[in-house]
Amino acid sequence: MIAAMGWAQSVAAQPASPPLPANVHATPLVGATEVAKFSAPAGFIDDPIATDDTRIGYVIADASSKAELHVVTVGGAENVVDIASVTLHPVALRLVGQRAFVVGQLQDGNQIAALVEIAAVGKKPAGSIVYKLGPAKDITVITRDGKPRVAVHRVTDTGKGTRHEVELDALETGKRVSAARPLELDATDSDKKLELKVNHWSDGYTLAHGTKGGEWDKKENQRTPDVEATYDLIAGKYTAQQPIGDLFEQHKRFQALAEAHDTIDFLRMSWDNANIQIWHAGKPTTVTLDEPITNYDPKSLKGTVDADGSAWIVLKMDPVNPEAVARKKADAEYLDVFRAGADGKAVRKARVLGAGMRFWFGPMGSGAGNRFWLLERSNGFERGGHTVTVYQLQ
């Protein structure tokens, strides 16, 4: 999704530049303090991490027989739960009070999910399963009408296209709240009855976004232009429509949203790779960093977008960025953590020395707090890593 910048290519294409000495005097941590570190004595810490304001949840797995959920109050107690009976390949995790909602991936690519007890409750031991869901193509926790719901999305190949079926279940009980009529799409991702061509999805596949054919104008004896539209599968109706203004802008925007596929809130580089964009509710806002963007490796971009359009952004320093080349001294490979407002103005909050590090990142709690975590990912293995560290901003 994130392409290499032109400046990165031009720097790499300077064979006459003298070798740059390593910067060995870098401070390991700037703007933050380490408050907790968790390691896997055997196996690895898998990718999904869940947090609330005081706790962090992670899974230690070995990809064959072990999946052990650890829920730790930072600076306090720890609960350890065996979830191998639920899944050996967790892909999503959420803390729900004294329970945890775990989504796992099956060998065929489908997903299953379960709500499990973190601690013993009465005669029920820790790890007891409250309910299970799936298998399904996608299982996602969403907010619907102000309440947490589980969207269960199933896809069937009809031979001529795909049938999409979605149901909503209560997160606390697993009971069905509502279900949608199937959305039948042909090979071009279109529903001719609805005159809808789907481009992308959101909210756990409960919302389909795309273009809708215009209405018949009797007075003009012709159809009005196509419009952008959102079809709500649960409500069974269009919930948003707007005219298409600039066709070129709409094409580029829909291209980015199609690449994101199932979300309308994400981070990516701009079309010309000169800026970062916060995409919120399907629209981009250009980020203004308080550091030169050319100092960073664009492929390292990570972060999260909050419900209000603000964001956490993490970038890794390119040690041979143009400024470093000019001064003939390599920069340290810092991971720089930025906090951006909904207006796109981003301020660097912390730096973590991360030479050679591959990483996942996330904020603690709701996202607007002053703690974040980094999972140092393994090299040569696409799942997880050995250490997850919690930091507090100073």
Q: What is the pTM of this model?
A: 0.89
The DSSP line for 319-354 is TT-HHHHHHT-PPP-EEEEEEE-TT-EEEEEEEEE-
Question: What average pLDDT does range 358-368 have in this prediction?
Answer: 86
| pLDDT surpassing 70 at residue 326 | yes
| pLDDT surpassing 80 at residue 82 | yes
Q: What's the pLDDT score for residue 188? A: 97
Per-residue pLDDT tens over the stretch 377-386: 988 888 999 8
Q: Are 376 and 389 in contact (CB under 8 A)?
A: yes
Q: What's the pLDDT score for residue 18? A: 46
Instruction: Report whether the peptide linkage leading into residue 319 is cis, meaning its omega lies within 30 degrees of zero.
Output: no
| pLDDT surpassing 80 at residue 315 | yes
Largest CA distance in the chain: 76
Q: What is the average pLDDT score of the chain? A: 91
Give buried/exposed letters for 180-195 (b at 16+ CB in 10 A, else e): beebbbeeebbbeebe
Q: What's the pLDDT score for residue 24? A: 47
| pLDDT surpassing 50 at residue 89 | yes
| pLDDT surpassing 60 at residue 11 | no
- pLDDT band for position 2 (50/70/90)? very low
Q: What's the pLDDT score for residue 168? A: 98
Per-residue pLDDT tens over the stretch 111-154: 999 999 999 988 889 999 999 999 999 999 999 999 999 999 99
What does the alpha-carbon distance between residue 67 and residue 258 come to, in Å, rounded to a whole number? 33
Per-residue pLDDT tens over the stretch 198-212: 999 999 999 999 999
What does the alpha-carbon distance between residue 46 and residue 59 come to, in Å, rounded to a whole number? 6
Long-range contact set of residues 83-87: C-beta below 8 Å, sequence gap at least 24: 83/59, 83/114, 83/116, 83/127, 85/127, 85/129, 86/112, 86/114, 86/116, 86/129, 86/132, 87/112, 87/114
What does the alpha-carbon distance between residue 169 and residue 180 come to, in Å, rounded to a whole number? 12
What does the alpha-carbon distance between residue 382 and residue 65 come to, in Å, rounded to a whole number? 18
323 vs 217 pLDDT, higher one: 323
Task: Report which residue type is found at 358.
Answer: R
Q: Are 98 and 118 in contact (CB under 8 A)?
A: yes
Q: What's the pLDDT score for residue 22? A: 52
- The percentage of residues in the chain with a pLDDT greater than 70, rounded to a whole number, is 92
Task: Report which residue type is found at 131.
Answer: Y
What does the alpha-carbon distance between residue 304 and residue 287 come to, in Å, rounded to a whole number? 13
| pLDDT surpassing 50 at residue 183 | yes
Per-residue pLDDT tens over the stretch 264-293: 999 998 878 799 999 999 999 999 999 999
| pLDDT surpassing 80 at residue 221 | no
Upper half-sphere CA count for residue 150 (Cβ side, 13 Å): 29
